[in-house]
């Protein structure tokens, strides 16, 4: 049987995460990094030279989209450009891998979904945590009925970002980066939607508490409460500034068991709750919480990219597609609206 040709990928944005995504495309047997586009074409060229790649360099997306044979675009440009770039790529008939946040307005997210659906292209959000080993294990426990019915879920995003970094000139600015609730805790919301499904109602308090060289507009502290359509409740915490290494938590409580980060408690473990049996839990490898590294690189980015490439070549339904990306974004925007209007909000669900 003739070997199927590789999926030819164009990378947009050869910055910090774009460079990781580019390497993940290069290392995928079924994909080829065909082009890289960055406003700073010298940066793109240096990156490709460093990695012995002869991908073509562009300094403008339009030109890259005109390049024949490119089937998919990985978008790792700044947040405020996501809408324009994702719509342009989808309208040109390219499959889209889009970094988070989907867009900095809900209308922008809606435009992306429409373009993706109209052109019937594959779509993946850069929400890699659904593929973390711990998350996959928890999902398998649920599928086997071992956690019972899910009743409560919580996930925190604690990230110490020093106050004297230049990053504050854009991070936390509404019109440049969008909210931290979407750009940061969008990861947590997306993850807990993976477990509990769609959200019926959201309430949120938020604030700015940490001193910085350039102060942020949006929020560095928030608590988001969720009621899912399933009846389960959820909570997401955000603190961008704690004296703590980067910490992303996950706790899933079911009627028959609990996943407390890398500790699993099941009601099949004898007398687990009795005095003297506090250690009677299953301890999962610490490395399964793959992302808890300050400034770190996630192993699971590769799995997310591999899944996107497989979605294209095997013509599968996307693992975490555009509608799902919209629904996560809608919860984030509902949280912002809740904090502003001091009432709970029912997010739009596609
Ligand atoms: N999934 C994650 O965990 C994760 C982690 C980090 C960053 N991100 C997201 O990835 C995106 C990029 O972040 P980063 O830290 O790599 O930023 P970065 O500033 O390091 O890189 C952005 C690159 O895009 C280029 N660029 C800007 N506008 C462009 C345009 N119009 N056309 C072509 N190139 C353009 C810049 O020159 C730069 O090289 C952001 O949206 C960010 O939220 C996601």
In-domain check, residue 219 = yes
In-domain check, residue 244 = yes
Q: Taking the chain, what is the end-to-end CA distance rounded to the nearest angstrom?
A: 41
- 176 and 151 in one domain? yes
- 306 and 261 in one domain? no
pLDDT of residue 172: 85
Residue nearest to atom 43 of ligand 1 (CA): 100
In-domain check, residue 100 = yes
Is the C-beta atom of 16 inside 6 A of ligand 1?
yes
- 186 and 138 in one domain? yes
What digits encode the pLDDT tens for the residues 99-146?
Answer: 999 999 999 999 999 999 999 999 999 999 999 999 999 999 999 999
Number of domains comprising the chain: 2
- 89 and 54 in one domain? yes
In-domain check, residue 350 = no
- 61 and 114 in one domain? yes
- 30 and 80 in one domain? yes
pLDDT of residue 5: 86
How far does the centroid of ligand 1 lie from the alpha carbon of residue 100, in Å? Answer: 10
In-domain check, residue 118 = yes
- 260 and 246 in one domain? yes
Compute and round to an integer the Cα radius of gyration of the chain. Answer: 21
Give, for ligand 1, the residue of 13, 82, 104 to mutate: max count of ligand atoms closer than 8 Å to Cβ: 13
| Closest ligand 1 atom number to CA of residue 298 | 3
Reduced to 3 states, what is the DSSP secondary structure of residue 250? coil
pLDDT of residue 9: 98
Domain that holds residue 185: 129-293+327-341
Is the C-beta atom of 291 inside 6 A of ligand 1?
no
Beta bridge partners of 152: 233, 253
What digits encode the pLDDT tens for the residues 297-333?
Answer: 678 899 999 999 999 999 999 999 999 999 999 999 9
Q: Hey, how many other C-beta atoms are within 10 angstroms of the C-beta on 36?
A: 28
Number of residues in the chain: 350
- 211 and 149 in one domain? yes
In-domain check, residue 160 = yes
How far does the centroid of ligand 1 lie from the alpha carbon of residue 350, in Å? Answer: 27
- 336 and 311 in one domain? no
- 223 and 287 in one domain? yes
Regions of the chain with pLDDT less than 70 = 1-4, 270-278, 290, 292-297
Residue 129: DSSP 8-state? G
- 134 and 120 in one domain? no
Nearest to 239 by CA among 207, 261, 262: 207
| Closest ligand 1 atom number to CA of residue 59 | 33
Residue 184: DSSP 8-state? T
pLDDT of residue 290: 61
- 166 and 138 in one domain? yes
What is the C-alpha separation between 156 and 179, in angstroms, rounded?
16
pLDDT of residue 276: 66
In-domain check, residue 346 = no
């Amino acid at each position: 049987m003739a070997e199927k040709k590789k999926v030819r990928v164009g990378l947009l944005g050869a910055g910090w995460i774009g460079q990781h995504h580019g390497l993940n495309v290069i290392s995928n047997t079924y994909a080829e990094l065909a082009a890289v586009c960055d406003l700073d074409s010298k940066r793109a060229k240096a990156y490709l030279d460093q990695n012995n790649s002869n991908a073509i360099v562009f300094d403008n997306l339009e030109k890259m989209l005109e390049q024949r044979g490119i089937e998919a675009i990985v978008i790792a440009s700044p947040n405020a450009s996501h809408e324009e770039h994702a719509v342009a790529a989808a309208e040109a008939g390219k499959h889209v891998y889009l970094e988070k946040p989907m867009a900095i307005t809900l209308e922008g997210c809606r435009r992306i979904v429409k373009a993706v659906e109209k052109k019937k292209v594959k779509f993946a959000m850069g929400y890699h945590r659904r593929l973390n080993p711990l998350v996959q294990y928890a999902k398998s426990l649920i599928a086997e009925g071992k956690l019972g019915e899910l009743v409560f879920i919580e996930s925190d995003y604690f990230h110490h970002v020093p106050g004297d970094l230049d990053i504050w000139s854009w991070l936390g600015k509404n019109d440049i980066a969008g909210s931290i609730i979407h750009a940061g805790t969008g990861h947590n919301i997306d993850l807990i939607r993976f477990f509990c499904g769609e959200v019926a109602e959201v309430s949120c308090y938020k604030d700015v508490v940490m001193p910085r060289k350039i102060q942020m507009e949006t929020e560095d502290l928030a608590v988001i409460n969720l009621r899912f359509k399933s009846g389960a409740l959820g909570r997401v915490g955000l603190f961008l500034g704690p004296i703590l290494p980067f910490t992303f938590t996950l706790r899933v409580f079911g009627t028959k068991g609990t996943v407390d980060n890398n500790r699993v408690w099941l009601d099949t473990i004898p007398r687990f709750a009795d005095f003297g049996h506090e250690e009677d839990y299953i301890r999962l490898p610490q490395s399964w919480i793959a992302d808890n590294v300050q400034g770190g690189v996630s192993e699971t980015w590769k799995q997310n990219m591999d899944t996107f490439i497989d979605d294209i070549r095997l013509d599968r339904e996307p693992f975490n597609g555009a509608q799902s990306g919209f629904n996560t974004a809608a919860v984030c925007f509902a949280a912002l609206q809740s904090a502003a209007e001091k009432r709970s909000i029912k997010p739009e669900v596609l």
